Amino acid sequence: MKILFKNAHITGKNGESDKSADIYIDGEHIVSAEKNGVLPDFEPDRVINAENMLVIPGLYNAHTHLPMTMFKGYAEDMALDTWLSEKIWPAEAKLTDIMVYYGALWGIAEQIKNGVVSCSEMYMFPEDILQAADESGVKLNFCNGVISFDPNENPKNNKDFTKAKRLYKNYHNSSHGRIKIDMSIHAEYTSHEKIIRAVADFSNENMIPNQVHISETKKEHDECLRRHNMTPCEFFNSLNFFDSPTIAAHCVHITENDMDIMAEKGVTAAHCPSSNLKLACGIAQIPEMINRGVNVAMGTDGSASNNNLDILKEMYIASILQKGITGNPEAMPAKDMLKLATVNAAIAQGREDSGAIEAGKKADLTVLDLDSAEAVPIYDPSSALLYSLNGKNVVMTICDGRILYEKGEFKTIDIEKVKYKMKKFSEMYK
């Protein structure tokens, strides 16, 4: 399909803005995006008057657990270890494949409603999540988090590791490249040296990106120090886990040396401020990470610990939180924040062809209403995006040139059916 956006406000990956720019989309790609960028031979199937719209690159969620929409509001006001052991893990034990499928669809629907085109996902029941992603038209970097509590276990016999390798063989770059399979260790405290080294070797041999939880809580961080005389970051690095591109979720309690390791190895920190605050995990040192050269992207974590899958909200919280704790109003300025939610995460996902509104890039766009009460008046689109707007202002989400959501209508998801299923399944937890 050929689409032409006329007279749009465009905010790019570095916060620069153009007024009255035209965006030409041909199939999966952007062919032109500039002021007065007339293509005389371009015959669009649809022309969209975007005069009162802000068009930004499609948003990325660098860390989430989609099916945990099933547990939104289920376990509140608890510390992470209690939250997991007493509420979430017992609840997850009741999940079935069909529940995970609809939970993933519900999470995907919320994300595309909020302008998110791609996410890095770690969870169980992989085929059901992959089916939901394929049907809905989004991009997904999926990993089956490997867990092993037995240090004597042969990694070849680990069911999680076996499943992860099979998923990579069967699904990597499927759905026209929208679905990618990463490798993963769930966390240091749910694994041991032998299994981490085995996963790292497989990732490095096959050039596969990794996902992992790192230093989410002080307890996790300190117990790793006691076990190994190394921080979680140092421990994973010593086992060559970071030799492949890695997304490390949370990174709340990492040290300066950890940051230097991450910068050197190209590890991306997935910053999840709402979840970290709600679970009282702490506040990640994001400005310091950026200053030391760490690639930082935005994440939500799962709905059970966030209750929303709104990356624009996370950007806002991340920015004002750092201003407050550092006493520096210039910390994490508006012009820099969009990069954390677009191109930084696209790079971390191995999607260098995405994350920006540029000719030749994939046509991933998030379109917001600039004529709403929250937006008017507009002096600077980047500032309005960060401080005034949120997911409720999204009017269109496009992934690989395909419109997934427009003005309340989901184009690829039977939203009423999914809602009915979610309400029905949630009855077992009441």
Give pLDDT, residue 71: 97
Q: Exposed, middle or buried, 378 (CB in 10 Å: 0-12/13-18/19+)? A: middle
pLDDT digit string (tens) for 347-368?
999 999 999 999 999 999 999 9
Output the pLDDT for position 14.
66
Give the pLDDT confidence of 320-341 residue by residue, as tens digits: 999 999 999 999 999 999 999 9
Write the CA distances from 344 to 62, 247, 298, 360, integer angstroms.
9, 11, 9, 18
Q: Decide: 198 and 241 in contact? Cβ < 8 Å.
A: no
pLDDT band at 81 (very low <50, low <70, confident <90, very high): confident
Residue 377 CB partners (closer than 8 Å, separation 6+): none
Across the range 371-395, mean pLDDT stands at 93
Q: What is the CB-side half-sphere exposure of residue 377 using CA atoms within 13 A?
A: 1
- 6-15, 45-54, 183-192: the lowest-pLDDT one: 6-15
* CATH placement of domain 2-57+356-410: 2.30.40.10
| pLDDT given at position 41 | 86
Is pLDDT above 90 for 16? no
Q: Residue 296's pLDDT is what?
A: 98
- Whether pLDDT at 123 is above 90: yes
Distances (CA, A) of 385 to 61, 293, 382, 422: 17, 25, 5, 31
Which residues share a beta bridge with 295? 268
Cα 328 from Cα 367, distance rounded (Å)? 31
pLDDT at 17 over 80: no
For the entire predicted model, the pTM comes to 0.96
Domain with CATH 2.30.40.10 in the chain: 2-57+356-410
Asked whether residue 38 carries a pLDDT value surpassing 80, the answer given is no
- Identify which of 297, 317, 338, 274 has the alpha carbon closest to the alpha carbon of residue 141: 297
Evaluate the omega torsion of the peptide bond into residue 90 and state whether it is cis, within 30 degrees of 0: no
Average pLDDT score over residue span 167-186? 98
The residues of the chain that CATH labels 3.20.20.140 are 59-348
Give the separation between CA 182 and CA 208, rounded to whole angstroms. Answer: 6
Sole residue written with tokens 């490798």 = 183
pLDDT at 15: 64
Is pLDDT at 11 greater than 90 in this prediction? no
Q: Where are the alpha helices (DSSP H) in 78-192?
A: 80-82, 89-92, 97-113, 126-136, 159-171
Fold of 59-348: TIM Barrel (3.20.20)
Q: How far apart are CA 232 and CA 53, in angstroms?
A: 44
Report the length, in residues, of the chain.
430
Give dist(CA 305, CA 249) in Å, integer: 14
Q: What is the mean pLDDT of residues 124-153?
A: 97
Q: What is the pLDDT of residue 286?
A: 98
* Tens-place pLDDT, residues 285-302: 999 999 999 999 999 999
Check whether 13 has a pLDDT greater than 70. no
